[in-house]
Amino acid sequence: MAAKYTKGIAGIWLEEAQILKATRKVRESGFTKFEAISAYPIHGMEEAAGIKRSWIPYVAFTMGLAGLAGGLALTYWTSAVNWAVNVGGKPFFSLPAFVPIMFELTILLSALSSVGALFYACGIPRMDPPVIDPDLSCHKFAIFIPHNDNGYDEAKIESMFKELGATEVKKTEY
Amino acid sequence: MMKRSPLVLGNKTLKDVTDDICAPVERFPSKGWVGMFLGAKTLLLFYIGILASVVGVGIGLLGVNSPVFWGTMIVTFVFWIGIGHAGTLISAVLFLFRQKWRTSVARTAEAMTVFAVMTAGLFPLLHTGRPWLDYWLFPYPNQRGPLWVNFRSPLLWDVFAVSTYATVSMVFWYIGLVPDFATIKDRAKNKLRRTVYGALSLGWRGTAKNWSHYEMVYLLLAGLSTPLVLSVHTIVSFDFAVSNLPGWHTTIFPPYFVAGAIFSGFAMVVTLMTLVRIGFPEFKNYVTLDHMEVMNKIIMTTGMLVGYAYASEFFIAWYSGNQYERFVFINRAFGPYGWSYWIMVSCNTIFPQLFWFRRFRRSIPVMFVVSILVNIGMWFERFVITVTSLHRDFLPSSWGMYAWSWFDTGVLVGSFGMFLTLFLLYLRLFPAVSIAEVKPVLHVGYDDKGGHH
């Protein structure tokens, strides 16, 4: 996937509590396109960054239903329409016997489509995205504000980051 | 408020966690690992040889014959599928119940699931005797007229259940690994490592939006895997329960099989975790004695569940008034295969009772021995169900014995070679504890100043 990266400015923090506070502040300052980066999911981050609840469950539910209907259609059409064979006097449309197939296909489609949706939502897979700091996947935290965000002003952002306890401020692309 | 004991010992910082868990992946393998790997690999090569003979000559090499048409292949298939269940249980069910202790063991348990299901999956395919025609098991449009698979057969439900289970557990495991691959990539010192782990991490960036979606998908997969894991062994039990054979035709089979699967799976997790703790001492801070103790409690509980099932089968055999049913169960305990029944009963219901005592629950040598006994017992449980029900049926004229050959032994022992080879490779190449999941629970059990409660 060809990826486009934007230039911007990033601040780096060392404490979980500080990054939460900083994220809240950045959001209150009117920025909307910023990214908060961490090595693990942080409790309370969604609220601080103003992230809406993920839409992936809708995909999972819809595709689960599709799997269920697909399982019913497959078993019904093959066993009762296309190749109706009398197996021990059982009805051609033996619904209880088809339940396991329908169930498994529900789970399969739902699970695979939610992973597909995750890939779409996160823009992965992509090769070698820019790394602001290799320690961000270990013990450091960062906020990245892209140059095209509302009221982008490098000097102001830098001083805001410093005020919020950032140990480092970098001009970078992400 | 109840005091909690720490989930991770040693007052670790975030960086310590990454360093500790990445260490086995980044350093040169120890002599112990190489020794075990060569042993496992030799066993795998032997297994490949055995399977090649069985495929080349035919399954007549195994002891299956009239009247015992299901033998080692099916027994060992059910055994390995059962082993897989603890992994999904730890990673999915305990996740839904917000059991934070699962984070330290979930990754390895899931790896165990994936490898156990891979090992198991081969057996039914080879048991068909003509594995090159196994694609007939799948419903696909074909040139033989409107010829479809029989969806009313439990054997076909099994195809769907096992392949769905294999796919979903692999995806669940991999999704959990993605952020940790990104961590290893960022620490990589050479280009090859950076490229390989970079590709495996799919370009994961760890932004708050990514994590938000990621956590939702993880929850969804856990929610979907939970009924899935129950369905898989239920459907495996249908392979038996839906037939009319005394000893198989039992309504207790689905819950009994699921309980047995969890029982044997947890025993295998304990066996492997004791070995991992010995091989990689840094993991002792993550997989603590508290973790092992909780798993031993689960082994004891599910051990009593299967014990209850054994008793209840006997009771129903008597209470049903069905003479064939009664005969099968008396024959099972006191007939020619009585020895296997008593191995099963003693390994599965007696030895796990040791875990009533805290001292044994927390003793590594005791739990190691008991977990192995449980696995032996659970293999024999499947042997008892399959072989003893088949060798004596309605007509004495059709009675016979299972002609166990050394190929049966080879298949059974060799399958451990495959499983262990995969597992040992996993321990060296993948982070064996979930880095991203352990970090948020680091503070559990510590007060603000970093001391224990």
Secondary structure (3-state) at B234: helix
∠ CA B128-B258-B110, rounded to 5°: 80
Yes or no: say if B92 and B225 are a contact pair by the CB < 8 Å rule: yes
Q: What pLDDT band is residue B451 in, cutting at 50, 70 and 90?
A: low
Partners of A13 in the β-ladder: A141
Is residue B2 situated within a structural domain? no
Q: Do A35 and B207 touch (CB under 8 A)?
A: yes
Least confident of A37-41, B31-35, B141-145, B269-273: B141-145
Ramachandran quadrant class, B183 (left: phi over 0; alpha: psi -120 to 50; beta: rest) = alpha
Instruction: Tell me which residue of B393, B48, B187, B130 sits closest to A138, measured CA to CA.
Output: B187
Enumerate the residues of chain B whose CB falls inside 8 A of the CB of residue A3.
Answer: 203
**pLDDT tens digits for range B198-242:** 999 998 888 889 999 999 999 999 999 999 999 999 999 999 999
CB contact under 8 A, A115 and B179: no
CA distance B216 to B203: 19
The span from the CA of B19 to the CA of B418, in Å, is: 30
Residue ranges making up the domain that contains B183:
14-140+148-441
CA distance B204 to B180: 9
Residues A122, B213: C-beta atoms closer than 8 Å: yes
Kindly determine whether residue B148 and residue A83, on different chains, have CB atoms separated by under 8 Å. Answer: yes
Say yes or no for a CB contact (<8 Å) between B437 and A114: no
The first and second tokens of residue B25, run together, are 């992946």
Nearest residue of chain B to residue A14 (CA atoms): B14
Specify the amino acid at residue B101: W
Give the residue from chain B lying closest to A61, CA to CA: B220
In this structure, of B87-96, B293-302, B368-377, the range with the lowest mean pLDDT score is: B87-96
A122-164 pLDDT per residue, tens: 888 887 788 888 888 888 899 898 888 887 888 888 888 888 8
Length of chain A: 174
d(CA B395, CA B409): 30
**Cα dist. B230→B187, B224, B259, B363 in Å?**
39, 11, 9, 31
Q: How many domains does chain B have?
A: 1
What is the C-alpha separation between A118 and B219, in angstroms, rounded?
A: 12
> Residue B285's closest CA among B29, B96, B26, B13?
B13
Q: B410 lies in a domain?
A: yes
The Cβ of residue B135 has, within 10 Å, a number of other Cβ atoms equal to 9
Residue A1, pLDDT score? 38
* pLDDT tens figures, A16-62: 888 888 898 888 888 888 888 998 888 888 888 888 899 999 999 99
Distance from CA of B262 to the nearest CA of A (A): 20
DSSP state of A169: E
* Residue pair B384/B11 in contact by the 8 Å Cβ criterion: no
Distance CA A166, CA A36 (A): 13
Kindly report the number of other CB atoms within 10 A of residue B82's CB atom: 30
**DSSP state for residue B89 in the 8-state scheme:** I
CA distances from B124 to A146, B199, B394 (A): 55, 34, 26
CA closest to A114 among chain B residues: B217
d(CA B375, CA B364): 16
Does residue B355 fall inside a structural domain? yes
Partners of residue B436 in chain A, C-beta under 8 Å: 39-41
Could you tell me which of B41, B132, B131, B121 has the C-alpha nearest to residue B76? Answer: B121
Task: Collect all residues of chain B within an 8 Å Cβ-Cβ radius of residue A104.
Answer: 157, 160-161, 164, 228, 231
Distance from CA of B340 to the nearest CA of A (A): 32
Does residue B254 have a cis peptide bond before it, meaning omega lies within 30 degrees of 0?
no
Could you tell me which of B90, B81, B6, B34 has the C-alpha nearest to residue B270?
B90
- Which residues 6+ apart lie within 8 Å of B304 measured at CB? B349, B352
- Residue B96 falls within a domain, yes or no? yes
Residues from chain A contacting residue B208 (CB–CB below 8 Å): 23, 35-38, 42, 45-46, 49, 51
- Note the pLDDT tens digit of each residue in B427-444: 999 998 988 888 888 877
- At residue A87 the predicted structure's pLDDT band, cuts being 50, 70 and 90, is confident
Average pLDDT over residues B363-380: 94
| Cα B352 to Cα B170: distance, rounded to the nearest angstrom | 30
Q: Let me know: does B187 contact A138? Beta carbons within 8 Å.
A: yes
| Rounded Cα–Cα distance for residues A147 and B394 (Å) | 81
H or E, element range at B317: helix B289-319
H-assigned helices in chain A:
16-28, 45-49, 56-76, 95-122, 154-163
Over residues B192-201, mean pLDDT: 91
Check: CB of residue B291 under 8 Å from CB of residue B25: no
CA atoms of B234 and B62, how far apart (whole Å): 27
The token duo for B74 is 């099916």
Q: Is the pLDDT of residue B353 over 70?
A: yes
- B3 domain residue, yes or no: no
CB B55 within 8 A of CB B133: no
- Whether B121 is covered by a domain: the verdict is yes
Q: Residue B225 and residue B109: Cα distance in Å, rounded?
A: 14
Based on the number of CB atoms within 10 Å of its own CB, is B83 exposed (0-12), middle (13-18) or buried (19 or more)?
buried
The amino acid occupying position B256 is: Y
pLDDT for position B163: 93
Chain A partners within 8 Å of B443 (Cβ): none
Cα A44–Cα B105–Cα B351 angle in degrees, nearest 5: 140
Which chain A residues are Cβ-neighbours of B235 within 8 angstroms?
Answer: 100
- Using a 10 angstrom Cβ sphere, with 0-12 exposed, 13-18 middle and 19 or more buried, the burial of residue A87 is middle
pLDDT band at B448 (very low <50, low <70, confident <90, very high): low
At residue A8, does pLDDT exceed 80?
yes
Instruction: Answer whether B108's CB lies under 8 Å from B269's CB.
Output: yes
Which of B162, B207, B234, B435 to mutate to test binding with chain A, by most A CBs within 10 Å of its CB?
Answer: B207
B293 vs A154: which has the higher pLDDT? B293
Which residues of chain A does B160 touch, with a Cβ-Cβ cutoff of 8 Å?
100-101, 104-105
**Tokens at B372, concatenated:** 């192995």
The answer to whether residue B326 scores a pLDDT higher than 50 is yes
> Tokens 């090649």 — which residue?
B52
Given B156, B211, B221, which is nearest A41 (Cβ)?
B211
- Residue of B419, B437, B337, B320 lying closest to B380 (CA atoms): B337
pLDDT score of A3: 53
Does residue B210 lie in a domain region?
A: yes
Q: What's phi and psi for A143, nearest 5 deg? A: -125, 130
The CA distance from B377 to B29, in Å, is 34
Does pLDDT of B159 surpass 90? yes
Q: Is B188 left (phi over 0), alpha (psi -120 to 50) or beta?
A: beta
Establish if B123 belongs to a structural domain. Answer: yes
Tokens standing for A166?
A: 């950032």
Token couple for B77: 């298939």
- Of A3, A103, A122, nearest to B210 by CB-CB distance is A122
Tens-digit pLDDT profile for residues B76-129: 999 999 998 888 888 888 888 888 888 888 899 999 999 999 999 999 999 998
CB-based contact B150 A85, cutoff 8 Å: yes
Residues of A in contact with B212 (CB under 8 A): 41, 45-46, 51, 53-54
| pLDDT tens track for B30-85 | 888 899 999 999 999 999 999 999 999 998 899 888 889 999 999 999 999 999 88
Considering only the beta carbons, identify the residue of A51, A85, A119 that sits closest to B209: A51
CATH of the domain at B97: 1.20.1630.10
B199–A117 C-beta distance less than 8 A: no
pLDDT of residue A2: 43
